[in-house]
Amino acid sequence: MGVGKTLVSKKLGELLNRKVVSSDKMIIDREGLPIADIFTQKGEAYFRLLEKKVIKEILGQENIIIDCGGGVVLDQNNLQALKDKCLVIYLAADASTIYENIKHKSHRPLLNVENPKKEIQDLLMKREPYYLKAQSKIDTNGKTIDQIADEVLKIIYERS
């Protein structure tokens, strides 16, 4: 969350001439609600079920770039399915960078709390073990979207 996944995915889509598929956007389109409202009205568990279905569907497509929500890898089956069919890259950032990137955005349901910076730190501590199961990791702190996209391309070409 807040590391530039969506912007990097779009940039990679342009550079590689590939379709970008966002798991969060698919859920929003299907539910007709923003993710924050899905969390509020139906709960996180409901959202995670939708996410699991969407990931399975996305993985049926070829030659795409997948922009996954930050919590998708919390489900071991999602993570393994992604790793079986894709190169999974963890875009990492520290809590301060993430906070600066998202502090003016109200559509982050897990951060609509009294102390969002502490919540980011807590989420990172909880999620980091899952994120580290990705095949590659890129530190995004202080980097532009173009620099991050270049690093992704380098990883892709090295693995080809």
* Helix or strand run (H / E) with residue 35: helix 35-42
The 3-class SS string of 101-144 reads: HHCCCCCCHHHCCCCHHHHHHHHHHHHHHHHCCCCEEEECCCCC
The β-bridge partners of 9 are: none
Residue for token pair 């996944």: 5
pLDDT score of 61: 96
**Do residues 93 and 141 make contact, with C-beta atoms less than 8 angstroms apart?**
yes
- pTM greater than 0.85 (yes/no): yes
End-to-end CA distance of the chain: 28
| Angle of helix 76-85 versus helix 44-58 axis, rounded to 10 | 20
Q: Where are the domains of the chain?
A: 5-145
pLDDT tens track of the chain, all 160 residues? 789 999 999 999 999 999 999 999 999 999 999 988 999 999 999 999 999 999 999 999 999 999 998 889 999 999 999 999 999 999 999 999 998 888 776 666 656 778 888 989 998 999 999 999 999 999 999 999 999 999 999 999 998 7
Number of CB atoms found within 10 A of residue 16's CB: 16
Q: What are the backbone angles phi and psi of residue 44, rounded to the nearest 5°?
A: -65, -35
- Rounded to the nearest 10°, the torsion over CA 13, 18, 24, 26 is 140
pLDDT score of 107: 64
5-145: what CATH class? Answer: alpha beta
